[in-house]
Amino acid sequence: MVTSADNKLADPKSHLIVRNATLGDVDAIVDLSDRVYTPVGMEAYVRSAIVGQINTFPQGQFVVMVGDVLVGYCATFRISGKVALKPHNWVEITGNGYASRHDINGEWLYGMEVCIDDAYRGYRIGQRLYNERKKLCESLSLKGVVFAGRMPNLARRIKKFKTVENYVDQVIHKKAKDPVLSFQLRNGFEIIGILKDYLDEDKQSLGYAAHMKWENPKVIKKDDKPRKTYGVRTPEVVRVATVQYMQRKINSFSEFLKYIEYFVDVVADYKSDFVVFPELFTLQLLSIEDQELTPYESIEALTKYTPRLKEAFRNMALQYNVNIIAGSHPTRMENGRIENIAYIFLRDGRMFEQPKIHPTPNEVYWWDIEGGSSLQAIDTDCGPIGVLICYDSEFPELARHLADQGIHFLFVPFCTDERQSYLRVRYSCQARAVENQFYVIMSGNVGNLPNVANMDIQYAQSCILTPCDFAFARDGIAADTDPNVETVAFADLRPESLIMARNSGTVQNLKDRRHDLYRMVWKGDRVLPIKND
């Protein structure tokens, strides 16, 4: 039996993978259902039922893997709305768990199962699986997703709320909390009724279930009236967030993480795919000291935090289901060099690092920082990305090297002390977006740290920039912030628009290069995933 102590995600080398289930997963799925349902008095799936689900509708069954360990399972099938939207019970709608009611012409996707290993709760595995359902629904142009949700708190709280209808109403109005129902409501599902005797063996729910649905926003019925679509995001859109972070004195490492986790939580609530923090934002940790440290002492102090920073950010990326570009962190490397490193934490558990190639004269003077030599596109679940730290964005060759590797998003954490310094980075980033026809996301510090060398004042106006053509924002700015105010900016970006611009835009910078006259030759080293500390 897997326990929290056996959680393989604690290993930095491991990561989450969501994929379609195969017949080779059957035994592991049965074992998972046994671990989840037997302790609460419910029957686990039999092997033949899982085989039936996968063989009947293979593209509708999903598993979540951590290495070779199966930690989540999701089962669906297609069905007519005439059946799924009327009162029903679990046995008749699912064909006793075999998904034998699957209808290849069914216009709705029925969610019959989501099963998650208790040892891996807290990593938003349920949300990942529901996202896969929505993607499948949209790819098949179905009307939506319908299912019956358990209410595991109902049995022990029914005396207080008297009726199941009142309990559900209180959960809807956030006067009560149910771990399953509250989760479904947060993920955009609406309650269309209460199903009595849905699953008698579910004693925690007293046999009841909440009848819920989610309508596919890309399928519009003829009699539909206009409705608000705030927050709706289609699969071809990537939502990015930039944090304009306030430097302030802190008293402990845990206080620093509290501020960071607040912003990660916020962008996760807004369903962001990426969030980026500023360059050198970890220098805030030096304010814990009662006195200003020498440059040498500062680097040594920061380097000691590196393992804990990696662990904390990786856990946040997994738990909040968001890819994090964690600004940059000056670190003494194993070979004795001091480098300014951007750490990238993907929401599947993988970690990468990108050193700053060109330290500024200021960084060399204050911190004795040396430039790195690796620059490579990083593959993510939203396509390839690149990271250039501040001054590096002012060197067109670097961005072009990443463009040649096919990136769609360039993240630029920066740290500038006054407006002229900031504008050098801003104008350079806008030029990089035009030259390479990709998106550029900038994130900078505001505030000050009086007892931290070279962090006396900060100026930033973080933004999200686009190429300049008809498919993009009129002024090439997808999102902007007010200068010197702690805030978060969001933008929904379409990789497909980049592909169209590169191939049929008003200008086609990448295609129109004169390779017969000039070229970019990279001689640096290949960047690799972070090794274990």
Measure the CA–CA gap between 466 and 430, rounded to whole angstroms: 8
CA distance 504 to 422: 33
User: Which residues have CB under 8 Å from 309's CB, separation 6+?
Assistant: 282, 326, 329, 343
Answer for the pair 249, 449: CB distance below 8 angstroms, yes or no: yes
d(CA 57, CA 100): 10
Contacts with 255 (C-beta within 8 Å, 6 or more apart), sequence order: none
218 is catalytic: no
What span, in angstroms and rounded, lies between the C-alpha atoms of 33 and 131?
21
Q: Specify the DSSP element, H or E, that contains 130.
A: helix 125-139
Q: Give start and end residues of each alpha helix (H) in 270-383.
A: 295-320, 361-367
Locus of tokens 């046995």: 91
Q: Name which of 470, 394, 391, 401 is nearest 436 in CA terms.
A: 401
Q: Residue 74 in contact with residue 133, Cβ under 8 Å?
A: yes
3-state secondary structure of 301: helix
- Token digits of residue 336: 């004795």
Question: Tokens 């005797």 identify what position?
Answer: 197
Q: Are 498 and 437 contacting, i.e. CB atoms less than 8 angstroms apart?
A: yes
| Cα–Cα–Cα angle for 327, 484, 407, rounded to 5 degrees | 35
Contact predicate 182/200, CB 8 Å: no
If you count them, how many residues does the chain have?
533
Residues in Cβ contact with 224 at an 8 Å cutoff, skipping those fewer than 6 apart: none
398 phi, psi to nearest 5 deg? -65, -45
User: Two tokens at 39?
Assistant: 């302790």
Question: In this structure, what token pair is assigned to residue 111?
Answer: 């969610």
Take residue 434 and report the two structure tokens written for it.
């035009």
Active-site choice (137, 382, 390, 468): 390
Write down the catalytic residue from 132, 279, 339, 486: 279
Task: Please confirm, yes or no, whether 279 is among the known catalytic residues.
Answer: yes
Query: What amino acid occupies position 278?
Result: P
User: Among residues 134, 213, 310, 356, which one is catalytic?
Assistant: 356
Neighbours of 206 (CB within 10 A): 16
What is d(CA 376, CA 405) in angstroms, rounded to the nearest whole number? Answer: 8
Q: Is 297 a catalytic residue?
A: no
Q: Identify the CA nearest to 2 among candidates 26, 27, 34, 44.
A: 34
> Two tokens at 115?
């099963």
The residue to which tokens 């933008």 are assigned:
491
Cα–chain-centroid distance for residue 460?
25
Helices assigned H by DSSP within 15-76? 26-37, 47-56
Active site residues: 279, 356, 390
